[in-house]
Amino acid sequence: MRILLVMGVLAAGCGSKGNNGNSDLSVAPDLAGTVDLAAGVVTCDPVKQTCIDPTVKCTLSNMGTMTMPDNQRACVPIKGTNKDGDPCTRTQFGDDDCDKGLVCTLRGASLTMLRCRKFCHVAADCDAGAACTGQLAAGNTKDGLCVPLCTPFGSECATPFSCGGIFQDLASTMTMPKLVLTCRGTGAAPINGDCMTSDDCAAGGICDPTLLVCIPFCDDDHPCPATLDDGGLTDDGGVSLSCAGITGAPNNGGVCQ
């Protein structure tokens, strides 16, 4: 029995655990629509920063109130000047101490060590070595966040991070899926150890969303184990593994499935 992991890994890597201060934007209506200007919410561009007032910034707001719905583009007060990649703090998504054009996120970071990341609409909005990832909210196909790329056995992620966060590229489609590997928090769970997200796994592993165990990355120099214990889900002694590439990601290895 093999695990159909490729799209499942995406869900495990997104880090969304509901609408709270430690998660990114949750399921929401289409952000591209016109919103109620009389209610104090404006349609602005988080990349071009089109708010008229220089003391505010355009972001995606998760500070839902009666006059400001969740997950809408909104002009909000600037509460800090932290730059791209800097550590940051937030009360909710969009209410943070990052500078204009940035938002405090777990992408390319972890649930407990957030970082400022740039908003993007296309790959060209991001610096070299970064990709524009989407799925900030359901129905939002226009706004994304730049995240630094990594390879499974590379050295791009500085301690205490490791490679293993998986997100969907903003340009990904159902017919042409494209996934992005970025840095994530490093946990203590070994290969075949229990996990809820990939942040729970030690370096070199990723959380399988079906089995909820850490499974290994692989390449020509790091072959897969012959089998992986599946906790009794099958009666054949475990799951037979082979190295499978991650859909759309660069040809730099894959995951054991």
pLDDT digits (tens, 9 = 90+) for 7-61: 344 333 333 333 334 455 433 332 333 333 334 445 789 999 999 888 899 998 7
Pairing of strands 90-92, 56-61: unpaired
Helix, strand, coil fractions of the chain, as percent rounded to 5:
5, 30, 60
Is 1 contained in some domain?
no
The pLDDT of residue 248: 65
| Top-confidence residue, 233 or 196 | 196
Domain extent, residue 76, equals: 6-24+42-62+70-256
Is 223 contained in some domain?
yes
Residue 58 CA to residue 72 CA, distance in Å, equals: 10
The model's pTM? 0.78
Q: In 108-143, which positions are buried (b, 16+ CB within 10 angstroms) versus exposed (e)? A: bbbeeebbbbbbbbeeebbeeebbbbbbbbeebebb
Residue 81 CA to residue 213 CA, distance in Å, equals: 39
Is 37 contained in some domain?
no
**End-to-end alpha carbon distance in the chain:** 9
Is 51 contained in some domain?
yes
Q: What is the pLDDT confidence band of residue 66, given thresholds at 50, 70 and 90?
A: very low
82-105 confidence digits (pLDDT tens)? 999 999 999 888 889 999 999 999
Is 36 contained in some domain?
no
HSE on the CB side for 199, CA within 13 Å? 18
> Position of tokens 């995606």?
60
As for how many domains the chain has, the answer is: 1
The pLDDT of residue 61: 78
CB 122, CB 223: distance < 8 Å: no
What are the helix (H) ranges across the chain? 6-13
Is 30 contained in some domain?
no
Is 32 contained in some domain?
no
CB 193, CB 214: distance < 8 Å: yes
Token reading at 37: 């200007």
Is 33 contained in some domain?
no
Residue 170 CA to residue 48 CA, distance in Å, equals: 17
